[in-house]
Amino acid sequence: MLIRLGYDIELGVTGPTALIALLLLHPDRASDVVEPETLTVDPPLQAVPYFDLFGNRCTRIRVPADVGRVRLRNHFVIRDSGIPDPVVPDAMQHSVADIPTEALAYLLPSRYCEVDSQLLQFAWDTFGTTSLGWARVQAVCDFVHGHLVFDYLSAAVGRTAVGGFTERIGVCRDFAHLAITLCRCLNIPARYVTGYLGDIGVVPDPGPMDFSAWFEAYLGGAWRTFDARHNSPRIGRTAIARGRDAADVPITMVFGPSTLHRFDVLTTEIAG
């Protein structure tokens, strides 16, 4: 199937400042691009592409004092298998000694995932007797899915995994942060993913389209997709960026005062 993806984001700035955007498709989907990305910055400003430490495609934009507003637009088409997220029940859990060096960072505490917290004991008390591997991560997802209530209006930039666990409310990033933290507490490497996830194959969500957040756990020698918010395999999931948590992969970061004036996200299957 073909999926059209894109966004139209406008920020008010008081400048001069700098803007970093993580809004380009992740390199692992490059071969699926049918109609190329066309990132447009309005007004035309100096935009420098680069890769961050996690291999994500970033754009650094220099914003002069007299601009006032910056608008970022991008629309493109990718080819997708149309197959839901893979489920691999026999994906094994690795001992810490056998985890690849490059995955060890995803066992450690990070800005929004406080592994060295009250959640450590809770994780072992709650999931310590579940089967190792896929079943244990799925048990974590089942818990988080039932423990948190999704509320778009409850988004809070400072809420961590412990905060979500305590408040029992949040948005997709809060579901991901709590699940990631519980997995790390159980010695399962887990990393945060942000990207596109439309309503293909499911009842459309009446709320506004947005970017989505999910996570990947390292099991059976590969990174496996899990989604604690939706808690079911989905079609058309498309990654933009990966990191330890949301602090590593902000959609936009403005180094100065800013106001969001427009935020439209597009992800839709192309009929036929």
Splitting the chain (272 residues) into consecutive groups of 10 residues, what average pLDDT does each group show? 97 90 96 95 95 97 91 97 97 97 97 93 97 98 98 90 96 98 98 96 88 97 98 97 97 92 95 75
Q: Is the peptide bond before 27 cis (omega within 30 degrees of 0)?
A: no
Q: How far apart are the first and last CA of the chain?
A: 8
Domain 2-82+251-269 has CATH 3.30.70.270: no
Rounded CA-CA distance 252/54 in Å is 16
Tokens of 13: 């700035």
The pLDDT value recorded for residue 65 is 85
Report the run of H or E that residue 263 belongs to, with start and end. strand 258-269
Q: Return the residue matching tokens 């666990």.
A: 165
The pLDDT value recorded for residue 153 is 86
Rounded CA-CA distance 218/143 in Å is 19
The pLDDT value recorded for residue 267 is 95
The pLDDT value recorded for residue 90 is 97
Q: Which residues contact 166 (CB under 8 A, 6 or more apart)?
A: none
**Residue in 73, 87, 20 with CA at minimum distance from that of residue 241:** 20
Rounded CA-CA distance 264/46 in Å is 23
Does residue 93 contact residue 188 with C-beta atoms inside 8 Å? yes
CA angle 24/211/236 to nearest 5° reads 80
Q: Is the peptide bond before 16 cis (omega within 30 degrees of 0)?
A: yes
Domain 96-243 has CATH 3.10.620.30: yes
The pLDDT value recorded for residue 105 is 97
**Residue in 114, 112, 229, 192 with CA at minimum distance from that of residue 159:** 112
The pLDDT value recorded for residue 272 is 67
* Total-model pTM: 0.96
Please tell me what DSSP assigns to residue 82. -
Domain spans of the chain, in order of start: 2-82+251-269, 96-243
